[in-house]
Amino acid sequence: MAVTDDAKKARKRSADKTYAAANAERKRARDKMYYAANKEKILLKVKAYQAANKVQMRSRKKAYYAANKEALVAKSKAYKKMHRAQERVKAKEYRQKNKQVRQVQDKAWRMANRAYKNAYDRAVRARKKVIAAGKVPPPLPKLADFGAQRKASGRIGPAASTDAASELPEEEDDAPHPLAATTKKVGMVTFTNEHPFNMRKRGPEPCCDECAKFQPNALTSATNTVILAGTYQCTFCRDWTYYKLHRKYKRTRADARLDATNPAGARQNILHDATRVAVSRTMQERDGDVKVQVLARPLRELDAVPTCLP
């Protein structure tokens, strides 16, 4: 029985496939060695081919993207979703590595284009006024046009260095103050959750007659002055209102630090330190068989509004 050409081709394809599978590692190693030995030659050949067929390759890629747009978009989304964590880590490392370089570049750009930024802001404000007047506003200036205009007028712009405040011309309207153009790194100020009322004052602290009833040292202390009740808040009423509003049941760290540095004033401010929960103690005095329980708390109700408030 004669073997047909199709059967021969199928048998050859099967044999080639088996040979390729058996010698895949050898072929990969041989190709790798060849590429390492002829790397420059291959790159030159690829660049020459790309330069000679630039238009055809671009049109081919464009046609392929148009024909497979949805599939490529879905593939890109799936890849991003799968490698999102790695991409974030790489982006964070890149930002941290190039942070100082980026800051210098941004600062140089801002100083070089300060005049344009100010002119643009003035144009925006003028544009708002023109629009409010019901007229057609002029177009906003562009950076390229502004630079060409400055270059044509022969005016020298501000220097791009980070500490070039003294190098700017005297006629420059937008020259920064010498103290503003600093080369130091200015750290951000972190705001604490401490209220100014928590800080002990050195000067006289006004105290109304109602608060003086449970401030035993208010009448004798040199740092307090007794004033009449009215449509204002004394120092202690103000603190009391603040603590009640913000649910500050306990003393703050600022109070503890101040009391540690000023032990004499700590006792004076014991009742002042926002204790909404009444301090109770039991004193047992025996008069025969009678037990007396004394509750130590302020004379006015803690949760009530002070009488000196409006």
Instruction: Work out the mean pLDDT of the chain and round it to a whole number.
Output: 69
User: Over 80: is that where the pLDDT of 294 sits?
Assistant: no
pLDDT cut 90: percent of the chain above it:
30
Q: Measured between alpha carbons, how far is 115 from 135 in angstroms, rounded to an integer?
A: 27
Contact in structure between 129 and 123 (CB atoms under 8 Å): no
Instruction: Write the pLDDT tens digit of every residue in 225-266.
Output: 554 445 556 666 666 666 665 555 556 666 666 666 766 555
Q: Measured between alpha carbons, how far is 13 from 38 in angstroms, rounded to an integer?
A: 31
Sheet strands (E) in the chain: 205-208, 224-227, 285-287, 290-292
Q: What is the reported pLDDT for 5? A: 77
Q: What is the reported pLDDT for 253? A: 65
Q: Which has more confidence, 179 or 46?
A: 46
User: Over 80: is that where the pLDDT of 147 sits?
Assistant: no
**Mean pLDDT for the stretch of residues 74-98:** 94
Q: What is the reported pLDDT for 278? A: 36
User: Over 70: is that where the pLDDT of 141 sits?
Assistant: yes
Q: What is the reported pLDDT for 280? A: 34
DSSP H or E run through 238: helix 235-245
Q: Measured between alpha carbons, how far is 247 from 243 in angstroms, rounded to an integer?
A: 6
Instruction: Write the pLDDT tens digit of every residue in 11-21.
Output: 889 999 999 99
Q: Which has more confidence, 236 or 198?
A: 236
DSSP H or E run through 8: helix 5-22
Q: What is the reported pLDDT for 145? A: 80
**In a 3-state reduction of DSSP, which class is residue 291?**
strand
Contact in structure between 185 and 100 (CB atoms under 8 Å): no
CA atoms within 13 A on the CB side of 29: 4
Chain centre distance of CA 81: 25
- For 195, counting Cβ atoms within 10 Å of its Cβ (0-12 exposed, 13-18 middle, 19+ buried), the class is middle
User: Over 80: is that where the pLDDT of 79 sits?
Assistant: yes
Contacts with 174 (C-beta within 8 Å, 6 or more apart), sequence order:
114, 115, 118, 158
Residue with tokens 């081709």: 9
User: Over 50: is that where the pLDDT of 148 sits?
Assistant: yes
**Mean pLDDT for the stretch of residues 193-203:** 44
Cβ density class 210-239: b for 16+ within 10 Å, e for less:
bbbeebebbeebebbeeeeeeeebbbbbbb
Per-residue pLDDT band for 98 (boundaries 50, 70, 90) equals very high
User: Over 80: is that where the pLDDT of 97 sits?
Assistant: yes
Residue length, the chain? 310
Which long-range contacts (C-beta less than 8 Å, at least 24 apart) are formed by 167-173?
172/115, 173/115, 173/118
Q: Measured between alpha carbons, how far is 25 from 182 in angstroms, rounded to an integer?
A: 61
β pairing state of 224-227 and 205-208 = parallel
Q: Which of 54-63, 141-150, 282-291 has the lowest mean pLDDT?
A: 282-291
User: Over 70: is that where the pLDDT of 124 sits?
Assistant: yes
Instruction: Write the pLDDT tens digit of every residue in 162-195.
Output: 444 444 444 444 554 443 444 444 344 333 333 3
Instruction: Write the pLDDT tens digit of every residue in 210-223.
Output: 666 665 555 544 44
Q: Which of 44-48, 75-79, 133-137, 146-150 has the lowest mean pLDDT?
A: 146-150
